[in-house]
Amino acid sequence: MTTVLDRPVRPVVARLRRDRRRWAWALGAAAVLLWSLAGAGLFTGDVVNPGGTAQFGRFAAAALSPALDAGFLGLLASSALVTVAYAVLGTALALALGAVGAVLVSRTTWGRRRLGWLLSRGVLAVPRGLHEAVWGLLLVNVLGLDPWVGILAIGIPYGAVTAKVFADLVDEVPRGAHSALLAAGAGRASATLYGLLPPAAGGLLSYSAYRLECAVRSAVVLGMVGAGGLGYQLSLSFASLRWEQVWSCVYALSLLCLAADVAGRAVRRRLAAPPPGPGRDPVLTGAVVVPLLLVAWSWWYLAVSPASLVSARTAEQLAHVLGAAWPPATDGALLGSLGALAVDTVQMSVIAIAVAALGAVLLAGAAARPPGRLSPARRVGGAVVRTVLLLLRAVPPPVWALVLLFVLLPGVLPGALALGVYTLGVLGRLTAEAVEELDPRPRAALAALGARPVGAWLYGVLPGAAGPVLAYALYRWEVAIRDTVLVGLLGAGGLGALLASEIAAFDWAAVTTVLAAIVVLTLLVDLVSDRARSVMR
């Protein structure tokens, strides 16, 4: 029989159990990191290539003297237009697919039918489990060098991701208005349209702007595998060791990412604090009208033709690839190599996330824009850190991998560090935004009591930022698994290297097996990441 005195004990016991689970997961994560570092050869083997330091120095020195001749700048401008056009049309397709997919995978649609909801979510794991570059390599074998390759390669995986995010945003909206409309006799579609979409509109529009920024980087990656644009020029300059041109491409890409970042930030700020008074907001109106105009221009600029999707040649080539890809290859040698390379892929992603998370924690304070007046040194330092983070995420991971191969021997480590550097640029920005949204009063109180800036940061900011940082890091781990395939395509190891060799050999049955392994691995990491987030909450 439970007494009144027993009741206060229950929350304490539950808290102790939760703390033990957290410590168990933290120790497990540390063990996995040590295992990954050992697998990368950091403790036992030679990983440094001393002969490449001179070339790396020339690459770094060229950052101060980019190519600025008129001919190359004109080429960069035309290439940037191609990249923007692919990013805009890819994002438009992703948003359209995401809006339809969100209806199919939302909890609101399925209600209490949990099995149907889980199955619909599982279907999305297939398209979003493959990187855009993989989609590009597969589609080019069906469509040839057609603009639809770049558009579909961005739109299909991004559409699956967008459907999941849109569904989560709608599901998290308060249900009062929706329930009232249903009780008044409205249908499910009408109740969702008028009861859930208006309060979720801000988050939907904000995420759409963020997805456009991501699409710019993806368009560059696709350019490196043959889609044209800035990525193609970047790969040509890198292959010929023209470092001044490489840095010009990097700076041009950074400007595109900065423009998308600034536009998205302006939309998010206006949604968070709309101006008072009636009438349309010009910023939000522009956020809708300008993308529509860009879609029309991109369609014309790339000369996109729907007829190429339904042509006889496309149907014939698709039937040939699908026929050759099924049934999947099941020979022992392939399956054995899949296991070993899957281990390399996981180790690469773990090291990348550890590097990115540590760097994000160290740089988030400087990158954040705290409220109030700042000293000139603080403003300049913050601008420098934000610029560095922008450059880190503007350069595609394959370029970082190729640069690191100057000073590191081929293997897991250069691919892991390349992903870590790139992910640091993304995670550092997200972490800085999380710090900006924290309550500033604890830090101000500690500063008023005489605490030094470092102490105020450690005790007034870091505890509140730990949760968002951990959540972002675990989410980026899922993305890093996909990105390991990208650097693997260029020889950094893991499943991506095997996939590249099988595609080059046109062994479509083996390609199917490798793709299935990548999707399963992505799904497993997704489940582990989701469980870790729930334990650490």
Average pLDDT of the segment spanning 375-387: 81
pLDDT for 314 equals: 86
Q: Enter the pTM of the model.
A: 0.81
For the stretch 331-347, pLDDT in tens is 877 888 888 888 888 88
Question: b/e string for 153-173 if b means 16 or more Cβ within 10 A?
Answer: bbbbbbbbbbbbbbbbbbbeb
Same CATH fold assignment for domains 67-273+280-312 and 331-537: yes
| The CATH classification of domain 67-273+280-312, taken from the options 3.40.350.10, 1.10.3720.10, 3.40.50.2300, 3.20.20.70 | 1.10.3720.10
Asked if pLDDT for residue 309 goes beyond 80, the answer is yes
pLDDT for 484 equals: 84
**How far apart, in whole angstroms, are the C-alpha atoms of residue 101 and residue 159?**
8
The residue extents of the domains of the chain are 67-273+280-312, 331-537
pLDDT band at 212 (very low <50, low <70, confident <90, very high): confident
**How far apart, in whole angstroms, are the C-alpha atoms of residue 489 and residue 510?**
15
Average pLDDT of the segment spanning 515-530: 82
For the stretch 475-500, pLDDT in tens is 788 788 888 887 777 666 778 888 88
pLDDT for 200 equals: 66
Return the percentage of the chain with pLDDT > 70, whole number: 82
Which range is most confident: 131-135, 292-296, 337-341, 513-517? 292-296
pLDDT for 279 equals: 63
Of 6-15, 204-213, 281-290, 421-430, the least confident? 6-15
pLDDT band at 3 (very low <50, low <70, confident <90, very high): low
Decide yes or no: CATH 1.20.120.140 for domain 331-537. Answer: no
HSE (side-chain half, CA atoms, 13 Å) at 207: 21
* The three-state (H, E, C) secondary structure of 378-397, written as one string: HHHHHHHHHHHHHHHHHCCH
DSSP state of 328: P
Which range is most confident: 127-131, 146-150, 490-494, 499-503? 146-150
Asked if pLDDT for residue 7 goes beyond 70, the answer is no
**How far apart, in whole angstroms, are the C-alpha atoms of residue 130 and residue 523?**
11
Asked if pLDDT for residue 268 goes beyond 90, the answer is no
For the stretch 407-465, pLDDT in tens is 887 778 888 888 999 889 888 887 877 777 666 777 777 777 777 777 776 777 777 66
Asked if pLDDT for residue 169 goes beyond 70, the answer is yes
Contact between residue 393 and residue 425 where contact means Cβ atoms under 8 Å apart? yes
